């Protein structure tokens, strides 16, 4: 849908804007990551990225950086400049006022208050507008935000660590230290970019996870919401999942007995045959502006999300160990009879994390 052909220079500038946007990965939630580069005569005259919800948008930082040099420049933005007066003035107006000659956007912003109106306003002001440069990369960057705005539910990522023979725990339930320190640090980075970290009552009882972000340095991040799926609220008075600075939300069955004198955040979700309706759980989280959920739970809950067809990506650490035939499998409750029912996935990324392998997979739909 682009109006103008894009040059090699355009590509280089948008690539830079995308890299800038990524610097907000741990802090912009629930807002999208956005980067902006202002260039004139082949040179960058200003740049910026959105840092925090409530703070200035990327364009504002870039325009401040450029000052008078913005006049006649091209603005490269990874998301359509906004046209609404939200927490800040419309970026489209700011670009017009600054005298920018051309705007190249990677993609339209599906946010209902923008959704094409930003590009339209720029065009009406006589600015040359090009749309769609490196759109695939821009969509990849904000896949959580886009999932929430376009589908009304967060992106669902399931994180698991398994042995070479596809096992996640011994028959006793013991599962500590399957993956190594490199993988565990890597998990922290994925946690930091998540809007929420989800687990189940079973994991709270068995492993007592804290579900906080521990990056080991002073990198800034907005703490993800911790979510416990606990139909009967059996774990509400125990566990480290309520310790620390991050908020915690308990999702319970409609008929759960609510504890008295408890200040925990709780929400009811529908249950069928004793199990949560997981699509309703995700819709509830979408309403709460959760962009990206990372599930860190056992085989039962992970299997339930797979069986419900609600897994968008699988973050899988493969440790070079064998745990044997009696150890627990990756997913419970996901079973097929025929090869035609198999769940096919595509490896979108693979690398080493220390001695382990890390795979990022997405279902082939």
CA 260 to chain centroid, in Å, comes to 34
Per-residue binding string, Zn ion, 6-45, x by CB under 5 A, is ----------------------------------------
First-to-last alpha carbon distance for the chain, in angstroms, is 24
Neighbouring residues of 57: CB distance < 8 A, sequence distance ≥ 6: 34, 50, 81, 82, 88, 91
Q: 59 catalytic, yes or no?
A: yes
Cα separation, 332 vs 326, in Å, equals: 14
Taking CB under 6 A as the binding criterion, the range among 83-91, 180-188, 215-223, 267-275 that sits at the site for ligand AOF is: 83-91
DSSP 274-297: TEE-HHHHHHHHHHTT--EEEE--
Provide the minimum distance between the beta carbon of 58 and ligand AOF in the complex, in angstroms, as a whole number: 4
CB of residue 109 to ligand AOF, shortest distance in Å: 5
Quote the least distance from Cβ 290 to Zn ion, whole Å.
22
Under the binding rule (CB under 6 A), the answer on residue 114 touching ligand AOF is yes
In the three-class reduction of DSSP (H, G, I as helix; E, B as strand; rest coil), residue 184 is classed as helix
Residue 250 near which of ligand AOF, Zn ion, none (CB within 5-8 Å, type-dependent): none
Measure the CA–CA gap between 147 and 228, rounded to whole angstroms: 21
Task: Find the shortest distance in angstroms from Cβ 36 to ligand AOF.
Answer: 7
Binding mask of the shown chain, residues 77 to 106, with x at each position contacting Zn ion by CB under 5 A:
-----x--------x---------------
**Interface with ligand AOF (CB under 6 A), residue from 66, 91, 96, 146:** 91
Among 26, 29, 32, 252, indicate the residue that binds ligand AOF (CB under 6 A): 32
Question: For residues 11 and 23, which CB has a smaller minimum distance to Zn ion in the complex?
Answer: 23
Size of the site for Zn ion (CB under 5 A): 3
Between CA 46 and CA 169 the distance in angstroms is 51
Q: Using an 8 Å Cβ cutoff, are 347 and 172 in contact?
A: no
Choosing from 29, 50, 57, 153, the residue that interacts with Zn ion (CB under 5 A) is 57
Nearest residue (CB) to Zn ion, 80 versus 230: 80
Question: In the chain, which ranges are continuous DSSP H helix?
Answer: 8-22, 58-66, 91-97, 117-124, 135-141, 143-151, 181-193, 201-207, 278-287, 299-307
Active-site hit among 47, 59, 292, 296: 59
Q: What is the chain's percent helix, strand, coil content, to nearest 5?
A: 30, 25, 45
Catalytically active residues are 59
Q: Where do contacts with Zn ion occur on this chain (CB under 5 A)?
A: 57, 82, 91
Residues contributing to the site for ligand AOF (CB under 6 A) = 31-32, 34, 50, 57-59, 79, 81-82, 86-88, 91, 109, 111, 114
């Amino acid at each position: 849908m682009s109006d103008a052909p894009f040059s090699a220079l355009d590509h280089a500038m948008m690539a830079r804007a995308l890299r800038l946007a990524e610097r907000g990965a741990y802090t912009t939630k629930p807002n999208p990551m956005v980067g902006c580069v202002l260039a004139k005569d082949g040179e960058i005259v200003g740049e910026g990225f959105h840092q925090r919800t409530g703070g200035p948008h990327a364009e504002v930082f870039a325009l401040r950086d450029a000052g008078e040099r913005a006049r006649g420049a091209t603005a490269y933005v990874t998301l359509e400049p906004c046209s609404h007066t939200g927490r800040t003035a419309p970026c489209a107006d700011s670009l017009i006022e600054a005298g920018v000659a051309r705007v190249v956007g990677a993609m339209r912003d599906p946010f209902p208050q923008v959704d094409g109106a930003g590009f339209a306003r720029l065009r009406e002001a006589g600015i040359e507008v090009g749309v769609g440069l490196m759109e695939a990369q821009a969509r990849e960057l904000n896949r959580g935000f886009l999932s929430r705005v376009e589908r009304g539910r967060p992106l669902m990522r399931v994180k698991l660590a398994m042995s070479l023979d596809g096992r996640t725990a011994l028959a006793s339930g013991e599962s500590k230290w399957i993956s190594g320190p490199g993988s565990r640090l890597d998990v922290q980075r994925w946690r930091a970019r998540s809007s929420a970290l989800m687990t189940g009552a079973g994991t709270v009882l068995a492993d007592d996870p804290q579900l906080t972000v521990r990056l080991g340095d002073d990198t800034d991040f907005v703490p993800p919401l911790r979510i416990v799926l606990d139909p009967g609220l059996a774990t509400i008075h125990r566990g480290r999942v309520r310790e620390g600075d991050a908020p915690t939300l308990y999702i319970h069955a409609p008929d759960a007995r609510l504890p008295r004198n408890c200040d925990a955040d709780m929400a009811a979700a529908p249950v069928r045959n004793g199990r949560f309706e997981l699509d309703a759980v995700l819709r509830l989280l979408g309403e709460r502006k959760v962009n990206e959920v990372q599930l860190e739970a056992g085989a039962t809950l992970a299997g339930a999300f797979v069986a419900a067809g609600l897994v968008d990506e699988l973050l899988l650490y493969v440790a070079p160990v064998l745990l044997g035939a009696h150890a627990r499998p990756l997913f419970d409750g996901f079973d097929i009879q025929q090869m035609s029912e198999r769940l096919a996935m595509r490896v979108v990324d693979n690398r080493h994390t220390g001695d382990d392998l890390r795979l990022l997979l997405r279902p082939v739909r």
